[in-house]
Structure 1
Amino acid sequence: MASAITLIRSADLSDAAEYAYASVAPPGARLIFPAGSCPLNQDGSTAAVGDYAGQAAKCVENLRTALAAAGASLTDVVSTRVLVASSRQEDLVTAWEVVRDAFGDHDVPSTLLGVTVLGYDDQLVEVEAVAAVLDS
């Protein structure tokens, strides 16, 4: 199913960003607000301890699962926020590249943040998203 989301770009803003600057959900869309996707295994343990890329991949995997349970997929995502527990830009970029690549051509607006600490033991990455779908 094709996404109902429209990604907005502007020639008046920098083209250095690897994502659209805004997105629009169509009238009548049902919004989906998943909890922040954490790098947790099904047993509650933290996946890929010490590995920013591995944790970002697990976050995306868990986000896909949560979205599917709500009747959506990554192409229905309106925006994301990627939280990385690090003050090193290279760690943020490592996590971001995994998330960006998972979305492929659906380059939704996103915010990348370095934070002091996240909620689970050994957690380095969390991905928040908002999605919108049209019910058929």
Structure 2
Amino acid sequence: MTSVVQLIRSASLADAPYAYAATAPAGSRLIFLAGSCPLNEDGTTASPGDYAAQAAQCMKTLTEALEAAGACLTDVISTRVLVASSDQADLVDAWDVVHAAFGAHDVPSTLLGVTVLGYSDQLVEIEAVAAVRGEQQ
């Protein structure tokens, strides 16, 4: 099934590795996902100290949460990537994983450096909103 999400780009804005905006038609069902955390099945934090590995685990969690809601990555209309670091290189390490996971669906995103996240040893968290056709799946 094709996504209802329409990514919007603007030639008058700086070239960026993501769309500047996205829309979904009236009647779409919005899915607000909790922040995807880098947790193992036993609840422990995956890959302490590794920004890229934690971002990958977050994307795995996000994908599974989307599937449970009847959606997939191409249905995501926006993301917020939180990285517990003041070092821009750490943010880029996490972002590169997230950007690669979305592939050609370069969803509008915000990348933030934050002081601390909720779980011990947690370095990355990804929030997302998705849109699917209005009917329940």
Give the structure-2-normalised TM-score. Answer: 0.97
Q: What residue in structure 1 maps to residue 90 of structure 2? A: 91
* In structure 2, C-alpha distance between the alignment counterparts of 1:40 and 1:5, rounded to whole Å: 28
Q: What residue in structure 2 maps to residue 132 of structure 1? A: 131
Q: What residue in structure 2 maps to residue 2 of structure 1? A: 2
Q: How many residues align?
A: 135
Do residues 14 (structure 1) and 14 (structure 2) align?
A: yes
SS of equivalent to 1:62:
helix
Q: CA deviation at 1:43?
A: 0.9
2:5 alignment partner AA: I
* In structure 2, C-alpha distance between the alignment counterparts of 1:26 and 1:39, rounded to whole Å: 32
Q: What residue in structure 1 maps to residue 122 of structure 2? A: 123
* In structure 2, C-alpha distance between the alignment counterparts of 1:60 and 1:88, rounded to whole Å: 21
Do residues 30 (structure 1) and 9 (structure 2) align?
A: no
* In structure 1, C-alpha distance between the alignment counterparts of 2:12 and 2:92, rounded to whole Å: 25
SS of equivalent to 2:130:
strand
Q: CA deviation at 1:90?
A: 0.3
* In structure 1, C-alpha distance between the alignment counterparts of 2:35 and 2:125, rounded to whole Å: 6
**Alignment gaps of 5+ in structure 1:** none
Q: CA deviation at 1:4?
A: 1.0
Q: CA deviation at 1:93?
A: 0.2
Q: CA deviation at 1:48?
A: 0.9
User: How well do the aligned residues superpose, as a CA RMSD in angstroms?
Assistant: 0.8
Q: Which runs of 4+ in 1 moved over 4 A?
A: none
* In structure 1, C-alpha distance between the alignment counterparts of 2:2 and 2:96, rounded to whole Å: 24
* In structure 1, C-alpha distance between the alignment counterparts of 2:10 and 2:125, rounded to whole Å: 28
Q: CA deviation at 1:63?
A: 0.3
Q: CA deviation at 1:27?
A: 1.4
SS of equivalent to 1:34:
strand
